[in-house]
Structure 1
Amino acid sequence: MKTLGRGLNANAKNVDNRTALHYAVSGKNTEAVQLLLQRRVKVDQKDKFGITPIHLAAWFGSLHILKLLVQAGAEQKVENEDGLNILHCAAINNHTEIVEYIVNDLQMKELDKEDKSGNRAFTLAAEHGCVQMLDMLMTQYNMATMKPNERGDTPLHLAARNDHLDAVQLLLQSFDTRDEVNMDGETALYQAADHSQEGCVLVLLEAGCDPNILTDLEAPLHLAVKNSHIPVIHFLLAAGCDINATDKRSQTAMHIAAELAKIDVVEMLLKAGFDLTIQDKQGKTALGVAVRADEAIIVDMIIKAERYYAWMKANPELNETVHSEYPLTFKLDHRNETKQLRSMAWHLAYELLKPGDWKRLAEHWGFTKEQVSAIEEQWTGQHSYKEHGNRMLLIWLHGAEVAQLSLAKELYQGLVVTGNSKAANKMRMEEQSTSSKNCSIS
């Protein structure tokens, strides 16, 4: 700073139109600020963004420097290119002591005005999660407002979108604002779901926000599925959202999950009991979408679910806890308890069944034409029918176990009825041989 005494220009600007005073203030260098003010530098010099030193003092929370600038005659109402004044700058950064000075000492409450985006100090504090600032503006200065900005976003929108959970909770406790929509038709809940802000989604739902308001024919559940965000999906389902709501392509969240082939998401949605008969604008059900995407695992999961819910509908007196000791799942079965059954299915499909045999079995067990066609779409070569048969048998085993059927008996009878007595007898002989060996070992 001694160089200032050698005739250098203290008001010199760099390429951004910033002077030494800008840097001294932003660096909270009180000594440098005092020295520059003694040299009578221009205190209201704007940089290329319209920011003056007094903006920076409020932004960085330098109360003493702010007072020095005011004493030096700095313009207190100055705005930058975005229309931000010193009250806005303090609110954005939660500098409550700066706001107290502006309102109590400077008596400049009129600075509580909209910037060029339509945001007031309260709105900006919400956007940046400044809970202390929000509380002070509400309780001490009556500056609270839920008025939307130019985009139609309320403080609740901005807090939720940016995952400021404490701010969201304070706003929900203090105001009745819940389901207001912005210029794009988005609610605060929609924005929280779109940004995968699970904490905010939960508190918004608990506060009674409507999960079924569509934005451009898209519900929060569609967004959560697209983002594959399991917690948000769980919260929305638990809140009783409309699981069969369709978007502009007439697709449900289940269609989207099937196309994206996210197994855990598909599993969660299938357990929720979606209407799997709904068709999109191309006439595709969720099963059809999975087939088109060539996602065999998803195809099989959906068929398992279709058969499970058809069985439940035909047996309304039964409860899930009665017919299975294992939690309901539509995923591939990797349990040790069913390893032998899965090996049996593979052996039957790959070594005993001929082309067309698996289809006759599927028809006997009540598979629909659409389900058979969906399985058959997978192509692995000239012997694809073997894999098709294996997949069909595993799907059947899933339902047979749920219904607590005698698997060996049902399989034997199915083979006999469909004209495959040779395979039936061979399977029975192999089963008896295995049982005999087990008895000998024991």
Structure 2
Amino acid sequence: MGAGPVAEWLGSRAPLQAAQCFVGSNPGRGHGTAHQTTLRRRPTCHNWRGPQRGMYKSGVCPGFCRQEFCLVLPNERSFQNAAKSNNLDLMEKLFDKKVNINAVNNMNSTALHFAVGANHLSAVDFLLNHKARVDVADKHGLTVIHLAAWSGGLEIMLLLVRAGADQRAKNQDGMNALHFAAQSNNVRIVEYLIQDLHLKELDQPDEKGRKPFLLAAERGHVEMIEKLVFLNLRTSEKDKEGNTALHLAAKHGHSPAVRVLLTQWQEINETNEKGETPFFLAVEGGHEECCKVLAAAGSDINIPNQLNITALQTATRKGHASLVSFLLSEHVDLHPKVEPKESPLHLAVLNNHVTVVNSLLSARHDTDALDQRRQTPLHVAADLGHVELVEALLQASCDLKAIDKQGKTALAVASRSNHSLVVDMLIKAERYYAWREEHGESSRDPSVSFPLTFKQDHSVETRHIRRLLWNLAYRQLKAGEWQRLARSWNFTDEQIRAIEEQWSGKESFREHGYRALLIWLHGALLTQAAPVKHLYEELVRAGFPELAEKIRQFKSEADSRPKKCAVS
């Protein structure tokens, strides 16, 4: 059990509580016996006085109600609250009214539980002096000795031990006082249990197979770890999940604890039941400092888990950009020999981690790695419509012709998914790289210095010509004409079909034409010093002399202004 049930003592209790019904002198049912039940319906005890809950003629239920459900009395509830707040005056007043100090609520908790959990020495002393029971366990199996070990009250612990509290009691999760003290970093309690009471037998695994040393490591308590080592309670044993203390400290990012444990550890690459090393767990949690400490100590950063997932794949999937950069600086294996479901680049693209993708590309990750569907990272980015990732992959010169198991290129995948922006980017890239393959990068006009980008153009410098192209597409071109113009510009049939795939009605050809014109403009601006002149000539040849004349006028105006373009 973790801190959850213990932490409940620090918060408020639910107002609806169960009662403890005390048996009177009814023969055959025992005398002074108590039972506790959870409220489910209004009590039907014959001694019920009226609508006020918990009010009986004699003050207590006279018999064993069995299937009758009784509420904790108001005075008993007030007494528990007084113990929780250390209100001794109220506790004394209520005690004088013969309140039952051992009454339990719906959690089976007594006033002593509350006082010990809140570390109120005065309230605890009062209760013990008035014979409060020290052996009651709540519904989680927590006794007051557990709460004292957790809250760190050594004086309270001494009082409870003198009062006869069971020092070896366990809760439902098999945790004893030493577990709780180790978990909450209460060194004085541990010293008392081990050195004064000589209870070394408390150093046992709980239901999860974790000894106190593992719990201290899990919480990152350096002082407790060092104390347990001093007391010869250090252990290299594993819990039921195969985790050592080093695994647990690394998993939760406790780098100071990891440093201390490394001085005690021999096998730092030991794996748990899932095949995870401490380094792998630190990466999975995004704990970069822990990763650096473990790597500096010689951890193997490339060991995959049982599912053949590496630390790099985990970091990229979770988007831990800084951690990915660290792994790359440590020369992590980008392409492990195992056959993973997805490469690190696939995982970064799949989860839209742009920064991680850029880091992997800078490290020369294989841009054309294939996943189980034989899709490249570009296929995945195109299918998801991630514009920024498509841009990064296109600039990395990935293979645009690669086909997946269904025989589809990234362009076909984007078209099928109706991502028109990505479709246009891919066509721009196909046309540009085809041109560069034919002419070579050096054949670009030296006066053209536009940055290479394939995203949609929103620049101010090209606004006027884009307006002219819009006018051409939406007011001049008829159905079927833009395709003829596109073929004259060497658009492939696949590219034309991809544009046509995004259908919005009978007027779709106008939008299709405009997109084709913008794609042409992208290539013209990247490869030519005078794209406007080229457009004029193409329009004349295609049979649009009037619009070509408007282009000539635009060229004259453009020549009179300094050329400053940023093309996208």
Mean Cα displacement is larger for which, 159-168 or 129-138?
129-138
Work out which of the residue numbers 194, 201, 211 in structure 2 matches 1:85: 211
Is the 8 Å Cα contact of residues 401 and 407 (structure 1) preserved in structure 2?
Answer: yes
Equivalent residue, structure 1, for 2:102: none
Offset, 1:351: 1.0
Cα distance, 1:227–1:149 mapped onto 2, change above 3 Å? same
Equivalent residue, structure 1, for 2:284: 161
Separation (CA, whole Å) in 1 of partners of 2:440 and 2:434: 10
Offset, 1:246: 0.9
Q: Which amino acid aligns with 2:197?
A: A
Is the 8 Å Cα contact of residues 316 and 348 (structure 2) preserved in structure 1?
Answer: yes
Matches within 5 A, 1:319-358: 322=446, 324-358=448-482
Work out which of the residue numbers 122, 127, 132 in structure 2 matches 1:3: 127
Is the 8 Å Cα contact of residues 134 and 163 (structure 2) preserved in structure 1?
Answer: yes
Equivalent residue, structure 2, for 1:223: 347
Is the 8 Å Cα contact of residues 213 and 245 (structure 2) preserved in structure 1?
Answer: yes
Offset, 1:312: 1.7
Q: What is the root-mean-square deviation of aligned Cα atoms in Å?
A: 2.1
Is the 8 Å Cα contact of residues 250 and 278 (structure 2) preserved in structure 1?
Answer: yes
Separation (CA, whole Å) in 2 of partners of 1:320 and 1:158: 50
Work out which of the residue numbers 257, 266, 284 in structure 1 matches 2:390: 266
Mean Cα displacement is larger for which, 380-389 or 317-326?
317-326
Is the 8 Å Cα contact of residues 186 and 215 (structure 1) preserved in structure 2?
Answer: no
Is the 8 Å Cα contact of residues 280 and 301 (structure 2) preserved in structure 1?
Answer: no
SS of 1:318's equivalent?
helix
1:427 aligns with 2:548: yes
Is the 8 Å Cα contact of residues 161 and 197 (structure 1) preserved in structure 2?
Answer: no
Equivalent residue, structure 1, for 2:181: 57
Q: Cα deviations across residues 225-269 of structure 1 (Å, max 9, x unaligned)?
A: 111011111111111111101111111111111111111111111
Is the 8 Å Cα contact of residues 26 and 60 (structure 1) preserved in structure 2?
Answer: yes
Is the 8 Å Cα contact of residues 13 and 19 (structure 1) preserved in structure 2?
Answer: yes
Is the 8 Å Cα contact of residues 378 and 410 (structure 2) preserved in structure 1?
Answer: yes
Cα distance, 1:266–1:46 mapped onto 2, change above 3 Å? same
Separation (CA, whole Å) in 1 of partners of 2:558 and 2:169: 95
Cα distance, 1:332–1:375 mapped onto 2, change above 3 Å? same
Cα distance, 1:406–1:434 mapped onto 2, change above 3 Å? closer
Matches within 5 A, 1:370-385: 370-385=494-509
Q: Which amino acid aligns with 2:214?
A: H
Q: Cα deviations across residues 193-238 of structure 1 (Å, max 9, x unaligned)?
A: 1221112211111111112236543111111111101111111111
Q: Cα deviations across residues 253-309 of structure 1 (Å, max 9, x unaligned)?
A: 111111111111111111111101111111111100110011111100111111111
1:96 aligns with 2:219: no
Cα distance, 1:285–1:317 mapped onto 2, change above 3 Å? closer
Separation (CA, whole Å) in 2 of partners of 1:258 and 1:37: 69
- Give the structure with higher Rg (CA): 2
Q: Which runs of 5+ in 2 are unaligned?
A: 1-123, 561-568
Q: Cα deviations across residues 338-359 of structure 1 (Å, max 9, x unaligned)?
A: 0011001101111111222111
Offset, 1:142: 3.7
1:275 aligns with 2:361: no
Identity, % of aligned pairs? 37
Separation (CA, whole Å) in 2 of partners of 1:386 and 1:158: 55
Separation (CA, whole Å) in 2 of partners of 1:6 and 1:234: 70
- Bigger proportion of residues as helix: 1
Q: Cα deviations across residues 143-185 of structure 1 (Å, max 9, x unaligned)?
A: 5521111100011110001011111111112215121111110
Separation (CA, whole Å) in 2 of partners of 1:370 and 1:252: 19
Separation (CA, whole Å) in 2 of partners of 1:317 and 1:332: 22
Mean Cα displacement is larger for which, 40-49 or 331-340?
40-49
TM-score normalised according to structure 2 size: 0.73
Equivalent residue, structure 1, for 2:427: 303
1:416 aligns with 2:537: no
Offset, 1:65: 1.1
Offset, 1:385: 1.1
Q: Which amino acid aligns with 2:227?
A: Y
Q: Which amino acid aligns with 1:363?
A: R
Q: Which runs of 5+ in 1 are unaligned?
A: none
1:251 aligns with 2:375: yes
Work out which of the residue numbers 192, 201, 206 in structure 1 matches 2:315: 192
1:108 aligns with 2:223: no
Work out which of the residue numbers 145, 148, 165 in structure 2 matches 1:41: 165
Size of the aligned set, in residue pairs, is 433
1:286 aligns with 2:410: yes
SS of 1:45's equivalent?
coil
Q: Which amino acid aligns with 1:177?
A: D
TM-score normalised according to structure 1 size: 0.93
Q: Which amino acid aligns with 1:68?
A: Y
Q: Which amino acid aligns with 2:309?
A: E
Separation (CA, whole Å) in 2 of partners of 1:138 and 1:433: 73
Q: Cα deviations across residues 62-110 of structure 1 (Å, max 9, x unaligned)?
A: 1001112223343342111111111101111222222222222x2234x
Q: Cα deviations across residues 421-441 of structure 1 (Å, max 9, x unaligned)?
A: xx23333146428958999xx
Cα distance, 1:186–1:360 mapped onto 2, change above 3 Å? same
Is the 8 Å Cα contact of residues 450 and 525 (structure 2) preserved in structure 1?
Answer: no
Work out which of the residue numbers 122, 129, 133 in structure 1 matches 2:257: 133
Equivalent residue, structure 1, for 2:140: 16
Q: Which amino acid aligns with 2:467?
A: S
Cα distance, 1:220–1:368 mapped onto 2, change above 3 Å? same
Equivalent residue, structure 1, for 2:516: 392
